[in-house]
Amino acid sequence: MFEDCQKTDELNDPLLVVRGDKVVKEAKVERALIPHLDDDCRGDPLLERQRDGKLRLIFQSTGATLENTPNRGSFRMLTSLDEGHTWSEEQVCPGPLSGQADVTGFGVLPDDSLLLNWSTLAPADSWRGDRLGRARGTGGWNEAERGSLEGFFHAMYVARSTDGGRTWSEPVELDSRPFDMAGGLTRPLVLRDGTTLLSQGLRFGSGYDSVPDCQPLPPARMGIRGVIYRSADGGRTWGDRTLMLNNGCEARLVELESGRLLAAVRCQLMDAGLLGSVWDEARKEWTDPYDLRVPDDQGHKHLWVAESNDRGQTWERPRLVTGDRADCPGEPLLLPDGRILLVYCRRARPDPGVGAIVSRDGGRTWDEEQIILKLNRDTENGTYPSSSLLADGTVVTVTGKNHGNRVQAIHWQVPEYRSN
């Protein structure tokens, strides 16, 4: 649909507003490359802004931490002192990491402390998703892979830093029992009452198969359990894990002026039903309590929203946002005028990249117009984004690195595209 744009230098691409297949507005934006990631590293970003204006950027380097550096087992964090125009690189070592570890959450607390959430895979050379795919295709693990999986477990930790990431508190392990795998990519939300919410996804085995024998899971154990962890003391201790929505992961939360919470949720693993499905033990099947009636091809890897009126204890009204496109994950931002901006990974082919939509009624409905913030030159894969608001209302969006797509920092204003 946007072939002409994809033939130009991507740093000169305009922001596009589209309605259906028609471009209804173009706007100039400021784009700059962030050249700090290695060529063989996938970098999905999490961007946060501190009270003094510093921007902190950390990446989920899928597959491993920084192994070939003096600080083996560290994570890569970038800092900008000029609102995202230039960046300096640091390595943060929040705990005794070894082998494979991925960032699964990152945020700034009200006192400007940094909160880092990560998961480790034990043992160091253990399971990865590509191995699972090969095993499912060939009917089982080879002996070397089976041996490395005997201690399979995904442990998840949280640590705080009060000095900009130079030193970190003793890591606190989040209780993920009885599940085998824990993780995602999310940002903590601090409510007005001071409670910190952290969403994550938990699975038995891979969500489809058991580990290490790679046998199909019983239906009741399939899927992802989207959960929320809570801290009442600024991330020092954690408890009160509650179920958010089954088959939901990578949920990003925002608190509205009314106190209602809105979550953008990625729906995943349709073998266990749609988002929010509940296991019916009597009938031995997953059931849909919301009567969503969504076709199978419009559920998996699609973007949904749900809301909570009790500070995240329960969630209701899950609804599909981008029904005709596989777009996820998404990140909601509350704009100064009360509108909600939802920025998301646009997976739609042949023009994937980063998109955004706007709600003018607290997330109940969304404008039909879509903002195309970035068009990838790779026409097969979308790109994870993360965004932050500057004091003047400018949005800074950092796009991730994968499949040859380069990391960009984009400074832009939400365009006005309606005459009424």
Question: How open is the CA angle 223-129-173, to the nearest 5 degrees?
Answer: 70
In a domain, 372, yes or no: no
> For residue range 188-197, what is the model confidence (pLDDT) as tens digits?
999 999 999 9
In a domain, 272, yes or no: yes
What's the rounded Cα separation, in Å, for the pair 231 and 237? Answer: 6
Q: What is the CATH classification number for the domain harbouring 267?
A: 2.120.10.10
Cis link prior to 123 (omega < 30° from 0)?
Answer: yes
In a domain, 298, yes or no: yes
pLDDT bin (cut points 50, 70, 90) of residue 63 is: very low
In a domain, 191, yes or no: yes
pTM of the model: 0.89
In a domain, 26, yes or no: no
Q: What percent of the chain has pLDDT over 90?
A: 50
Measured CA distances, 381 to 33, 64, 159, 326, 328 (Å): 19, 21, 32, 11, 12
Mean pLDDT of 340-349: 89
Q: How many CB atoms lie within 10 A of CB 150?
A: 10
What's the rounded Cα separation, in Å, for the pair 102 and 298? Answer: 29
DSSP string, 80-109: ESSTTSS-EEEEE--S---S-EEEEEEEE-
DSSP string, 118-182: EEEEESTT---HHHHHHHHHHTS--HHHHHHTTT-EEEEEEEEESSTTSS-PPPEEE--TT-SEE
b/e sequence 242-256, b meaning 16+ C-beta within 10 Å: ebbbbbbbbbbbbbe
In a domain, 21, yes or no: no
In a domain, 314, yes or no: yes
Supply the DSSP symbol for 14: P
What's the rounded Cα separation, in Å, for the pair 201 and 153? Answer: 14
Q: Which amino acid is at 280?
A: D
244: pLDDT strictly greater than 90: yes
CA 71 from chain centre, in angstroms, equals 26
3-state helix, strand, coil in the chain (%, to 5): 10, 45, 50
Lowest mean pLDDT among 92-96, 257-261, 303-307: 92-96
Residues 6+ positions from 103 with CB-CB distance below 8 Å: 46, 58, 59, 60, 61, 75, 116, 117, 118, 185
Give how many domains the chain has, as a whole number: 1
> For residue range 282-330, what is the model confidence (pLDDT) as tens digits?
999 988 888 877 766 666 788 899 999 999 999 998 888 886 677 889 9
Supply the DSSP symbol for 220: G
Check residues 193 and 37 and name the one with the higher pLDDT: 193
In a domain, 173, yes or no: yes
206: pLDDT strictly greater than 90: no
* Partner residues linked to 48 by β-bridges: 56
Residues 6+ positions from 237 with CB-CB distance below 8 Å: 172, 231
Range of the domain at 260: 34-121+154-320
Phi/psi at 398 (5° precision): -105, 130
